[in-house]
Amino acid sequence: MQVTVSRLSPVEVSLRVVLAKEKVDAELDRAFQKLGRDAQIRGFRKGKVPRPVLKQYFGGQVASDVFRKMIDETLPGAIRDQKLEVIGQPRVETESDLLSTAEWAYTAQVEVRPDMSGIDLGALKLTRKVYTVGDAQLDVALQQKREENATLRTPDPMRPAKETDTATFDVAILVDGVEIAEFGAKGRTVELGRNTLIKEIDEGLRGMSPGETREVPVTFPETHRQKELAGKAGQFRLTLTTLQEKVLPELDDEFAKDVGAESLEALKASTLATLQKQFADRSDDDVREEAIESLVKANTIPVPPSLVTQVLGQLRPSLLRELGGTLGEGADLETTLRGEAEQRVRAGLLLTEVARTHGISVTEADLNARLEEMAKETGRALPRLRVEYRDQQKRDLLISEVLEKKVLDLLLSKATITEVPTDASDVSAAKEA
């Protein structure tokens, strides 16, 4: 066997493998002998069919089977001898008619891991936001607890709908004055102002009273999932059927006891502690994400195309769900998706290389410790979690999670981190936490 290697790119290699003629001939002889014992062709007794006749009837299939067998036997050795770290499946092509050629050869194009030598973890410079949690965040969190424990009642006397009210309504969609019945809905109930409705419907319902009907104009986007509506102007015909207002509980000791605290002061203390932990976790998440971004930025390695294609296939459906069913048709969007896929592949390769070069691995003790953490975080029974994570797919995901955390811990230990005091007074940040 002779192997010629051609470097097509930093992550693509072509191997031309010439098979030893005597070995191929021996394999062909064995294949035709086996075929001759079983073949039944009119005019010949079983087991007595001459080889030229067998070749005429079955030559192509025999040669193909032999070649496939020879590739399976020789390609792994050729890759191993060349010390190639192959990613994905090789693409193999034969060079000529197998039965008439004097030389049996094939070409295998493989993708390989890029050169990642010289990764300098000490060059990473990161910023850690140290959040200061105070009264503003506590007030937001307590208000959220009141919202979660609110009750509904019918306004007395009745009044027009406003933000935070819960409205039950019917909606019909009209285009050119004609109602499209299949796109309407009856008895839908939502809280106004929660951004769960189309803007025109949410704003249209405000100021309406039960029993009232109102039409509001709308222009549907060109990318609307329903082709019958895409790009068209129409109206929503809204009928408000019932209206309820939200009643918040008083923030006092009785409310605290209702939500499991001994007193209002105890509730405030526990809520503040929870907020502080959540913002600390957020700070950790931010600096870990920055560590990955900095690692990728400092090491712009080439990425194997097949891995990019694989990740791209995972990104499209998730983005499709986020955008409500349509991605549109933009070159800019495709460029953005491909860029994101390349960054994810690059990050994965770099983190794997850091783990390999620093001897980072995941032990059973590591997995058990993570399962114990999960049990505390979720309140689930540890024995049940252990049984659940015997499933190989879930176990692999858990291993990946633990390995990534260990690698990131190493990155942070090597990086230069500057702490920046940050006021967590942004209400949206408090709500997010």
Residues 6+ apart with CB under 8 A from 304: 11, 12, 87, 88, 111, 112, 113, 114, 345
Of the residues 247, 268, 294, the one at which a domain ends: 247
Same domain, 346 and 258: yes
pLDDT band at 427 (very low <50, low <70, confident <90, very high): very low
The DSSP-derived string for 163-177 is TT-EEEEEEEEEETT
Q: What's the whole-number mean pLDDT along residues 333-355?
A: 90
Same domain, 269 and 417: yes
Cα 274 from Cα 268, distance rounded (Å): 10
In degrees and rounded to multiples of 5, residue 322 shows phi and psi of -65, -35
104-120 core/surface letters (b: 16 or more CB in 10 A; e: else)? bebbbebbbbbeeeeee
The DSSP-derived string for 308-336 is HHHHHHHHHHHHHHHTTS-----HHHHHH
Write down the residue that tokens 């790009």 correspond to. 231
Rounded to whole angstroms, what are the CA distances from 157 to 160, 211, 258? 10, 15, 29
Q: Flag whether 382 is in a domain.
A: yes
Same domain, 77 and 18: yes
Count other C-beta atoms under 10 Å from residue 166's C-beta.
17
Q: What's the whole-number mean pLDDT along residues 50-66?
A: 84
Q: Flag whether 70 is in a domain.
A: yes
pLDDT tens-digit series, residues 118-137 = 888 888 999 999 999 989 89
pLDDT tens-digit series, residues 26-39 = 888 888 888 888 78
Q: Flag whether 139 is in a domain.
A: no
Of the residues 112, 142, 159, the one at which a domain ends: 112
Q: Flag whether 284 is in a domain.
A: yes
Same domain, 104 and 225: no
Same domain, 237 and 295: no
Same domain, 287 and 267: yes
What are the DSSP E strand ranges found in 42-98?
Answer: 86-94
Rounded to the nearest integer, the mean pLDDT of the chain is: 89
CATH code of the domain containing 223: 3.10.50.40
CATH code of the domain containing 360: 1.10.3120.10
Same domain, 268 and 403: yes
pLDDT band at 41 (very low <50, low <70, confident <90, very high): confident
Look at the chain and report how many structural domains it folds into. Answer: 3
Same domain, 317 and 200: no
Same domain, 242 and 259: no
Q: Flag whether 140 is in a domain.
A: no
Cα 329 from Cα 22, distance rounded (Å): 56
Its domain, for residue 180, covers 151-247
Cα 241 from Cα 188, distance rounded (Å): 10
pLDDT tens-digit series, residues 215-234 = 999 999 888 888 888 889 99
CATH code of the domain containing 8: 3.30.70.1050
Cα 316 from Cα 308, distance rounded (Å): 12
Q: Flag whether 133 is in a domain.
A: no
Same domain, 427 and 345: yes
The half-sphere exposure of 194 on its side-chain side, counting CA atoms within 13 A, is 11
Cα 423 from Cα 400, distance rounded (Å): 34
Same domain, 281 and 206: no
Quick one: what percent of the chain has pLDDT higher than 90?
Answer: 64
**Peptide bond between residue 157 and the one before it cis (omega within 30 degrees of 0):** yes
Residue 322 has pLDDT above 70, yes or no: no
